[in-house]
Amino acid sequence: MATKWLPRWFFQLASPRWCYQFTGKLIPWFAVISITLMVIGTIWGLAFAPADYQQGNSFRIIYLHVPSAILAQSFYMLMALAGAIGLIWKMKVADMVAKSVAPIGAALAVLALLTGAIWGKPTWGSWWVWDARLTSMLVLLFLYLGVIALNSAIESETTAAQATAVLALVGLVNIPIIKYSVEWWNTLHQPATFKLTEKPAMPAEMWLPLLVMLIGFYTIFGLALMLRLRNEILVRERRASWVKELLTVKA
């Protein structure tokens, strides 16, 4: 098999039981770290970061808007990747990850769009403009909703997972469109705050709390993903002996 180069943990992750136990160990750590980061980031961004010289205090919306927009996109990529792994290796856990991440990604896309609209009003004078960045983010939300609807419309778990994986993979083309929309088209939207190759254009007092919030968002919504995944594992593995043992010990 061509799978020899894959590390051992990749196959361990494929076991629902191992995955359930592993996430059970991670959850308390993620809970403590994520809540700490979110509290620090929020207080830092709201009360201590300096106001923007052009936008005043409305700029503080950035600490929610940018992390939610970044996560909505990276969770979409995770959904497509997990779907692809499920398609190729018929890995049940990957299908469950893809299904569990969709509602969280949709919620994050909604948050990014809403905070963007609320930020746009005092900054651009309008809640919404049909601009490339905003429109491609709206398409991302519709892709999430399409994936969720398609998954719940198909009764067979395997067929549902395959169909949604294909839809998620096709929709992947939207991700670079979102990223480069601010460069390819004339847009009101400002360019990216964080770039891999350059220093941020804003001072450290402004972007440091943003970085804290970004990691806080990753860990807190990673936590939400683990909680959903564990529910999914329990439901689908309900006939497995380890689930029965787990429940009889608890009861």
Partner 1 sequence: MAFESFADFLEMGGHGLYVWLCYGLGLLTIVLSLLLPLQQGKSIKRDLVRRLRREERSA
Shortest Å, Cβ 58 to partner 1: 4
DSSP 14: T
Shortest Å, Cβ 35 to partner 1: 10
Shortest Å, Cβ 206 to partner 1: 11
Identify which of residues 49 and 70 has a Cβ nearer to partner 1 in the complex: 49
Identify which of residues 8 and 250 has a Cβ nearer to partner 1 in the complex: 250
Shortest Å, Cβ 137 to partner 1: 16
Shortest Å, Cβ 87 to partner 1: 25
Identify which of residues 92 and 230 has a Cβ nearer to partner 1 in the complex: 230
Shortest Å, Cβ 196 to partner 1: 26
Element housing 229 (H / E):
helix 204-236
Give 146's strand partners.
none
Give 56's strand partners.
52
**Cβ-contact 82, 94 below 8 angstroms:** yes
For partner 1, the binding residues (CB under 8 A) are 38, 42, 46-51, 56-58, 60-61, 64-65, 68, 104, 107-108, 110-111, 114-115, 118-119, 121-122, 220-221, 223-224, 227-228, 230-231, 234-235, 238, 243-244, 247-248, 250-251
Phi, psi of 186 (to 5 degrees): -70, 125
Identify which of residues 50 and 191 has a Cβ nearer to partner 1 in the complex: 50
Residues whose CB is less than 8 angstroms from the CB of residue 86 and which lie 6 or more positions away in sequence, other chains included: 92, 94, 95, 98, 161, 162, 165
Identify which of residues 167 and 223 has a Cβ nearer to partner 1 in the complex: 223
**Cβ-contact 123, 178 below 8 angstroms:** no
In 3D space, the residue among 111, 118, 109, 112 whose CA is nearest the CA of residue 145 turns out to be: 109
Q: For the range 197-200, what are the long-range contacts, defined as Cβ-Cβ under 8 Å and sequence gap of 24 or more?
A: none
Identify which of residues 37 and 143 has a Cβ nearer to partner 1 in the complex: 37
